[in-house]
Structure 1
Amino acid sequence: MFIHLGGEKIIRASELIAIFDISIEKSSKISKQFIGQAVKDKRTEQIGEEDCKSLVVTKSKVYYSPISSTTLKKRANQLLTN
């Protein structure tokens, strides 16, 4: 199964670790360190040109998605319940 993250980016559901609202990037010291390390390791990718609304953490990358975390979570839950 796959999850559409916005733009032309689709990931395997099995790669998904977490989906966060973009506000977590600034609100938590631990998340700042995590994102900082991902940027340093060149493991981040911004999807499209729109403003980012969520962070999608996978086994290999952190994606900045223009789709809200609520919508992405609904998509992921639909895959789990089907």
Structure 2
Amino acid sequence: MFLHLAKDVVVPVKNVICIIDADSIKNSKDSKAFFKISEEEGFVKKISDEKIKSYIITEEVEKKDKGSRKIIKTVIYYSPISSTTLQKRANFLEDIHSSDEVYVK
């Protein structure tokens, strides 16, 4: 299943490590430093120029060629969609995926 982060950006739900509310890091020096370093190191993808409402930390497995080691790449998305909305979307998708019952009218 995929999680829509905004515009044309979707990520597999299984790759999502965490969804962080942008307002929650305003008073934390450590969090601000983490995101600043992440930007400098090229881990960040801004989805739009709108106000950032949430940060989505993901890990993607890359494989260069057959037989080579897997490379885990961290990507942090800056999304204009609230963390609450993204969490609801993620839980909704998990609920659909885990449902074993089929309802027929």
Fold similarity call, TM over 0.5: yes
Query: Separation in 2 of the partners of 1:32 and 1:21?
Result: 13
1:4 match: secondary structure: strand
Q: What pairs up with 1:25-64 in 2 under 5 angstroms?
A: 25-59=25-59, 60-64=74-78
Letter aligned with residue 48 of structure 1: S
Structure with max Cα Rg: 2
Aligned positions, number: 82
- List alignment gaps of at least 5 residues for structure 1: none
Q: What pairs up with 1:6-21 in 2 under 5 angstroms?
A: 6-21=6-21
- What is the Cα-based RMSD across aligned positions, in Å? 1.3
- List alignment gaps of at least 5 residues for structure 2: 60-73, 97-105
1:61 match: secondary structure: strand
Query: Separation in 2 of the partners of 1:22 and 1:5?
Result: 14
Q: Does 1:79 align with 2:93?
A: yes
Letter aligned with residue 58 of structure 1: T
Greater helix proportion: 1
* Matched-pair contact (CA < 8 Å) for 1:25–1:35: no
* Matched-pair contact (CA < 8 Å) for 1:24–1:31: no
Query: Separation in 1 of the partners of 2:11 and 2:27?
Result: 26
1:37 match: secondary structure: helix
Query: Separation in 1 of the partners of 2:23 and 2:88?
Result: 19
Query: Separation in 1 of the partners of 2:53 and 2:27?
Result: 14
